[in-house]
Amino acid sequence: AQRVTQPEKLLSVFKGAPVELKCNYSYSGSPELFWYVQYSRQRLQLLLRHISRESIKGFTADLNKGETSFHLKKPFAQEEDSAMYYCALQGGSEKLVFGKGTKLTVNP
Amino acid sequence: GAGVSQSPRYKVAKRGQDVALRCDPISGHVSLFWYQQALGQGPEFLTYFQNEAQLDKSGLPSDRFFAERPEGSVSTLKIQRTQQEDSAVYLCASSSYGTGGIYEQFFGPGTRLTVL
């Protein structure tokens, strides 16, 4: 079975502080992993995918197959990073399996 | 260019009514997906089309749910005899390739369905 777990429903940090949003997955094969973000009153959009190994808006995520994790990190959070973040897995088919999401609030 | 559009944006239905939700994908996108997002949850897969072929409908919760994409472009998700548990945001997404590739799914704004 494919499953994505985001253990934190809510995460609050101060501007300039480091932030880490946790994501663990369950899948027997080699997954493709993504982070999607939804800003207030906007549609869900792709933030980054592990295969491209890129940094978007200062965020990075490393796939750790040993720990089956794909945590999202940013060294210095900004107020505009406040949003809902969803980790998603694609394994063996085109569909995405999402976690329940983490609401990040960056306080001034 | 234009993104994925969905209509209506909001729908209120009385229990037992039938509803139809429309999705217009990005022009030329081969793949189209429907997801259901209940309050406080992540999106959950319902069904997937490659062109007009429905390749996966494993996520449809009951036989009251039906989706079609007859010409490989616009898609309609129909829910018959709506129940209160059908209340959710229904998201449509499209991507530019079908099989084997890892292509970004572009999401629409969603249709918020409320069943009274």
Q: Residue B107: which of B52, B56, B36, B39 has the closest Cα?
A: B36
Distances (CA, A) of B33 to A17, A72, B67: 37, 25, 10
* Band of pLDDT at residue A39, cut at 50, 70 and 90: very high
pLDDT of residue A52: 73
pLDDT of residue A49: 87
Peptide bond into B8 cis (omega under 30): yes
Closest by Cβ to B107, choosing from A4, A44, A99: A44
- Answer yes or no: are the C-beta atoms of B107 and A45 closer than 8 Å: yes
Which tens digit of pLDDT belongs to each residue from B42-51? Answer: 999 999 999 9
In chain A, the residue whose alpha carbon lies closest to the alpha carbon of B43 is A98
pLDDT of residue B100: 52
Question: Among A52, A94, A96, which would you mutate to test the B interface (most chain B Cβ atoms within 10 Å of its Cβ)?
Answer: A94
Which tens digit of pLDDT belongs to each residue from A54-90? Answer: 778 999 998 898 999 999 999 999 999 999 999 999 9
Residue type, A4: V
Cα–Cα distance between B4 and B22 in angstroms, integer? Answer: 11
Residue B102 has pLDDT above 70, yes or no: no
Distances (CA, A) of A5 to A37, A39, A82, A100, B46: 16, 21, 20, 7, 19
Give me the residues of A, 24-53, that contact B with CB < 8 A: 32, 43-46, 49, 51
Residue A100 has pLDDT above 60, yes or no: yes
Q: Is B107 helix (H, G, I), strand (E, B) or coil?
A: strand
- Answer yes or no: are the C-beta atoms of A99 and A4 closer than 8 Å: yes
Give the residue-averaged pLDDT of B56-83.
96
Q: Residue A87: which of A97, A79, A74, A73 has the closest Cα?
A: A97
Give the residue-averaged pLDDT of A12-40.
95
| 3-state class percentages of chain A: helix first, strand second, coil last, to nearest 5 | 5, 45, 45
Residue B99 has pLDDT above 70, yes or no: no
Q: Residue B11: which of B102, B93, B81, B115 has the closest Cα?
A: B115
- How far from the centroid of its chain's Cα atoms is residue A61's Cα? 8
pLDDT of residue B93: 97
Give the residue-averaged pLDDT of A35-53.
90
Mean pLDDT across chain A, nearest whole number? 93
Residue type, A81: D
Residue A31 has pLDDT above 90, yes or no: no
